[in-house]
């Protein structure tokens, strides 16, 4: 009996040691399984928060006369109420109103754009915008870099790139998580081709609106055509810069040339200068911006 008992205790000890060594669970419970680990390990990892917030709660706009609603209400005058970015006009239904509602837009959107501004002015505008800590900054600039007194006076592409990069660096230095929507530079040649059909518009152009493109509106000689093509080429180069620089910032969205590609007609042009967007044109810009900001995957 004693030998048999000692033998039983020895067998039991060996079995116990084997179970502990192999991690086997006789009751099919909590130990690791051959099928791929514990129950907790098989759960899907938590998804990281999305980089892009499609519902920002505050907006600051920077840029040029288009964002100021220039010539949309009265001749040679800003009209920020109809701005595509931050305006309050119900017919425009601005990006701010679409995202924040009427009350929210009035309280939490700011327009720092300036008529006549070029890309070199953007870092200063952004520096003002960051004091509001907006969740979204809208950018529309570049038309005035092409709209100069002559083709030779247009902003060089390298300078344009450096100025845009500086503006983004200014933003990131203070607000690393703020999102940026970048609109492409409009197709200036199309605006010329549409506006030149109106005699009043051509008279206003003579006051100095975009002379590199609009001077001698009815001049179709080879020299004039070549001049307009050079301006158009520069606009396309600016848009490539905007897309390339924006693509390096995970919280920046470029419109993919949607503004450039939009076929503005006479209804979308100011009836004061037949070049800047009218209220209807501002509404189309707001639609493009809203679509770009709210899409799941641009």
* pLDDT (tens digit per residue) in 216-228: 999 999 999 999 9
Work out the average pLDDT over 50-67: 94
Work out the average pLDDT over 159-185: 98
Structure confidence at residue 3 as a pLDDT band (50, 70, 90): very low
* pLDDT (tens digit per residue) in 66-99: 999 999 999 899 999 999 999 999 999 999 999 9
pLDDT at 296: 85
What is the DSSP-derived secondary structure letter of residue 34? Answer: T
* pTM for this predicted structure: 0.82
pLDDT at residue 39 greater than cutoff 90 = no
Q: CA geometry: angle at 247 spanning 241 and 253, to 5°? A: 100
Please tell me whether residue 21 adopts helix, strand or coil conformation.
Answer: helix
At a CB cut-off of 8 Å and minimum separation 6, what does 161 contact?
241, 245
pLDDT at 1: 43
Work out the average pLDDT over 140-154: 97
Helix axes 188-195, 222-247, angle to 10 degrees: 140
* pLDDT (tens digit per residue) in 252-288: 999 999 999 999 999 999 999 999 999 999 999 999 9
Work out the average pLDDT over 154-162: 98
Please tell me whether residue 37 adopts helix, strand or coil conformation.
Answer: coil
pLDDT at residue 26 greater than cutoff 70 = no
* pLDDT (tens digit per residue) in 61-74: 999 999 999 999 99
**Which segments within the chain are labelled E, that is strand?**
59-63, 109-111, 136-140, 179-182, 252-254
What does the alpha-carbon distance between residue 167 and residue 121 come to, in Å, rounded to a whole number? 9
pLDDT at 12: 36
pLDDT at residue 295 greater than cutoff 90 = yes
Tokens of 85: 């970015």
What does the alpha-carbon distance between residue 298 and residue 289 come to, in Å, rounded to a whole number? 12
**Which segments within 54-146 are labelled E, that is strand?**
59-63, 109-111, 136-140
**CB–CB of 70/79 below 8 Å?**
yes
pLDDT at residue 110 greater than cutoff 80 = yes
DSSP labels, 162-190: HHHHHHHHHHHHH-TT-EEEEPPPP-HHH
Q: How many of the other CB atoms lie within 10 Å of CB of 220?
A: 9
Strands 109-111 and 59-63: parallel
Structure confidence at residue 34 as a pLDDT band (50, 70, 90): very low
37-41, 170-174, 257-261, 269-273: lowest mean pLDDT where? Answer: 37-41
At a CB cut-off of 8 Å and minimum separation 6, what does 42 contact?
36
What does the alpha-carbon distance between residue 31 and residue 207 come to, in Å, rounded to a whole number? 83
């Amino acid at each position: 009996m004693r030998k048999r008992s000692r033998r039983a205790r020895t067998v039991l000890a060996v079995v116990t040691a084997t179970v502990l060594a192999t991690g086997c669970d006789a009751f099919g419970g909590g130990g690791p399984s051959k099928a791929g680990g514990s129950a907790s390990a098989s759960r899907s990892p938590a998804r990281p928060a999305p980089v892009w917030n499609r519902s920002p709660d505050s907006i600051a706009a920077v840029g040029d006369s288009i964002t100021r609603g220039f010539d949309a209400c009265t001749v040679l005058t800003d009209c920020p109420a109809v701005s595509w970015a931050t305006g309050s006009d119900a017919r425009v239904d601005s990006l701010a109103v679409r995202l924040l509602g009427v009350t929210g837009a009035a309280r939490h959107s700011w327009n720092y754009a300036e008529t006549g501004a070029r890309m070199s002015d953007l870092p200063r505008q952004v520096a003002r915008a960051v004091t509001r800590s907006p969740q979204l900054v809208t950018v529309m600039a570049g038309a005035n870099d092409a709209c100069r007194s002559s083709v030779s006076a247009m902003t060089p592409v390298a300078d344009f790139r450096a100025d845009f990069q500086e503006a983004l660096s200014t933003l990131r230095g203070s607000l690393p998580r703020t999102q940026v929507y970048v609109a492409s530079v409009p197709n200036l040649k199309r605006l010329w081709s549409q506006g030149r059909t109106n005699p009043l518009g051509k008279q206003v152009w003579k006051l100095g609106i975009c002379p590199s493109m609009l001077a001698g509106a009815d001049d179709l000689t080879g020299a004039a055509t070549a001049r307009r093509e050079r301006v158009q080429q520069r606009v396309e180069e600016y848009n490539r810069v905007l897309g390339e620089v924006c693509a390096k910032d995970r919280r920046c969205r470029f419109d993919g040339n949607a503004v450039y590609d939009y076929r503005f007609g006479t209804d979308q042009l100011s009836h004061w200068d037949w070049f800047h967007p009218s209220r209807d044109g501002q509404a189309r810009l707001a639609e493009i911006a809203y679509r770009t900001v709210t899409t799941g995957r641009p």
